[in-house]
Amino acid sequence: MAMVDEPLYPIAVLIDELKNDDIQLRLNSIRRLSTIARALGEERTRKELIPFLSENSDDDDEVLLAMAEELGVFIPFVGGIEYAHVLLPPLESLCTVEETCVREKALDSLCKIGSQMRETDLVDSFVPLVKRLAAGEWFAARVSACGIFHVAYQGCTDVLKTELRSTYSLLCQDDMPMVRRAAASNLGKFATTVESTYLIAEIMTMFDDLTKDDQDSVRLLAVEGCAALGKLLEPQDCVARILPVIVNFSQDKSWRVRYMVANQLYELCEAVGPDCTKTDLVPAYVRLLRDNEAEVRIAAAGKVTKFCRLLNPELAIQHILPCVKELSSDSSQHVRSALASVIMGMAPILGKDSTIEHLLPIFLSLLKDEFPDVRLNIISKLDQVNQVIGIDLLSQSLLPAIVELAEDRHWRVRLAIIEYVPLLASQLGIGFFDDKLGALCMQWLQDKVYSIREAAANNLKRLAEEFGPEWAMQHLVPQVLDMVNNPHYLHRMMVLRAISLMAPVMGSEITCSKFLPVVVEASKDRVPNIKFNVAKLLQSLIPIVDQSVVDKTIRQCLVDLSEDPDVDVRYFANQALNSIDGTTAAQS
């Protein structure tokens, strides 16, 4: 056994721990692989460390994942670009493990390295690697192969290119559906590197085969390729080759395929251009909006605004709007919810008059939806409509919807609406808020659920920021301070919480004149929890108020608390006192 000099001891241990029994130590060592490489020097890294790592592919997944990641940035440690090829063997073996996330990370790293390699090295070492993986005995290797063809293909000789294309075509017809799926999902990426002459002749043939695959799971990944391929083809080829496939897919027997089309249609429209969109894709989209399967309608409804943006308003009103009307009373709440989350965005597209005529009734009906998510989604996007038609037309329906959500029996719904109150306030204006929403904001402070009370306190702060301290002084502070006499100690505690949040916004003067007396009074509460929260609050007020106030009022109050019979109260009081002394010391 070699004995190591003391300064090298830590690095020696780091190296030894590459093989420790404890996975955490191995993981740490692998994460610091660059340190180890630098300690060994470039040559020994190439000759010893990398082969050592290649032998290591039976380690735990976590270790392999970290190794795959580290190797992606390892080129500088093996001596630069000309030695990049030595990194391929360990990554190749990582590309064959059965754990998907390890393989994907290894592929990422291979792509990174491959894109930096010199062309000759690419041909000499990267392309053979791709071919080995593609001919792998186990499916995992062949799945991995699909993901790096695009790197290998660039900079290849013509002979090799032909070979790579035919290898890829074999992968598209592999026995294992997993391999065909990988081939389908990487086809678009590969196609971007292939010359346009072969695009039509070969890539499109592979694509056609994949779109006719028996396995649902393969066909639905082929849909994703449509958009990518469409963008590569000349418009007329795209119309001739891709469009029929899309139209077919939009009527596929499998709802999952139609679902994918609904999700992708927007991009597909871009690929085929506006004319075909009008004649072919609008009818396809309308079919999807009226699909039997709710999942498909959800996907389609969620894209309605994006799709309308591609059309002119007349077309949208003529074809899409009737469907939107139907969807607004769809039997599935999730469809309505998906629609509600985007429909407000249609207002700017249709313009003021059409919005009032066509969309407003839909907004209003969705605002009365029985499902809270639908109403919330409408409220969350209020600003988009406000810009077009103003809020007045909605405000009458808005208020009942807000009140109902504010009192919903599910606390998460109440929480969600509280989050939107500042937005509502800014859109609706001070006047509306004073009349209608102010009371609600106070009511939430006394909610049964802590998260709601906490959010309500935070909401007060945001309102104070929105409308300014003066307004808050009139409309929020008195109501909050009233609560300090509430018989329930949790509610009294909420007053302290609200004060601590609002004080920085309200400024020193109001804090001293309004908040501080209340806080000092609260320090005589009979409940210890209130008292130590007073101590904590006072500590947070120190930076806000003048030093004189600290010395006069706060310190005295804390001194009293520090003699409290309760240990926790004493603890927090002393902590606050220490922080006063700390700031004083720092200032002096």
Partner 1 sequence: MNGGDVTSSSAATSGPPPSLDWRFSQVFGERTAGEEVQEVDIISAIEFDKSGDHLATGDRGGRVVLFERTDTRDHGGSRRDLEQTDYAVRHPEFRYKTEFQSHEPEFDYLKSLEIEEKINKIRWCQPANGALFLLSTNDKTIKYWKVQEKKIKKISEMNIDPSKAESSSSPPQLVANGLPADKAHGYLSNDFSFPPGGIPSLRLPVVVTSQETNLVARCRRVYAHAHDYHINSISNSSDGETFISADDLRVNLWNLEISNQSFNIVDVKPTNMEDLTEVITSAEFHPIHCNMLAYSSSKGSIRLIDMRQSALCDSHTKLFEEPEAPGSRSFFTEIIASISDIKFSKDGRYILSRDYMTLKLWDINMDSGPVASYQVHEHLRPRLCDLYENDSIFDKFECCLSGDGLRVATGSYSNLFRVFGASQGSTEAATLEASKNPMRRQIQTPARPSRSIGSMTRVVRRGSESPGTEANGNAYDFTTKLLHMAWHPTENSIACAAANSLYMYYA
386's tokens = 């406000």
Residue of 86, 96, 188, 463 interacting with partner 1 (CB under 8 A)? 96
Using CA atoms, how far residue 161 sits from 85, 126, 164, 165, 167, in Å, is 20, 13, 5, 6, 10
For partner 1, the closer CB: 18 or 541:
18
**What's the CA gap between 428 and 361, in Å, rounded?**
20
Closest to 508 (Cα-Cα) out of 478, 479, 548, 481? 548
If the CB atoms of residues 216 and 404 are measured against partner 1, the closer one turns out to be 216
Distance (Å, rounded) from C-alpha 385 to C-alpha 344? 6
Residue 43 interacting with partner 1 (CB under 8 A):
yes
Cβ proximity to partner 1: between 214 and 563 the closer is: 214
User: Binders of partner 1 among 214-243, rule CB under 8 A?
Assistant: 214-217
Instruction: Tell whether residue 373 is a contact of partner 1 (CB under 8 A).
Output: no
Give the x-and-dash track for 175-204 against partner 1 (CB under 8 A): -xxx--x-----------------------
Tokens of 533: 């929260």
In the region spanning residues 245 to 274, those forming contacts with partner 1, defined by CB under 8 A, are 252-257
10 Å CB burial of residue 342 (0-12, 13-18, 19+) is buried
The answer to whether the CB of 133 falls within 8 A of the CB of 144 is: yes
CB of 135 to partner 1, least distance (A): 15
φ, ψ (nearest 5 deg) of residue 544: -85, -40
Binding mask 121-150 vs partner 1 (x if CB under 8 A, - otherwise)? -----------------xxx----------
If one asks whether residue 560 binds partner 1 (CB under 8 A), the answer comes out as no
Q: Give yes or no for residue 3 binding partner 1 (CB under 8 A).
A: yes
> Does 98 help bind partner 1 (rule: CB under 8 A)?
yes
Q: Shortest distance, CB of residue 99 to partner 1, whole angstroms?
A: 8
Do residues 218 and 256 make contact, with C-beta atoms less than 8 angstroms apart?
no
- The CA distance from 427 to 441, in Å, is 16
Residue 331 lies near partner 1 (rule: CB under 8 A): no
Residues of 481-494 as b/e, b for ≥16 C-beta within 10 angstroms? bebbeeeeeebbbb
Binding partner 1 by CB under 8 A: which of 197, 236, 292, 588? 292
The closest alpha carbon to 110, from 125, 97, 128, 92, belongs to: 92
Kindly write out the interface string for residues 57-86 of this chain, putting x where it contacts partner 1 by CB under 8 A and - elsewhere. -x----------------------------
Instruction: Return d(Cα 276, Cα 315) in angstroms, integer.
Output: 13
3-class DSSP state of 492: helix
Count of chain residues binding partner 1 (CB under 8 A): 62
Query: How near is the Cβ of 466 to partner 1 at its closest, in Å?
Result: 39
Instruction: State the amino acid at position 178 in one-letter form.
Output: M
Regarding 39 and contact with partner 1 (CB under 8 A), the answer is yes
What is the binding site for partner 1 (CB under 8 A)? 1-6, 8-19, 24-25, 28-29, 32, 35, 38-45, 48-49, 52, 55, 58, 96-98, 100, 138-140, 176-178, 181, 214-217, 252-257, 292-295
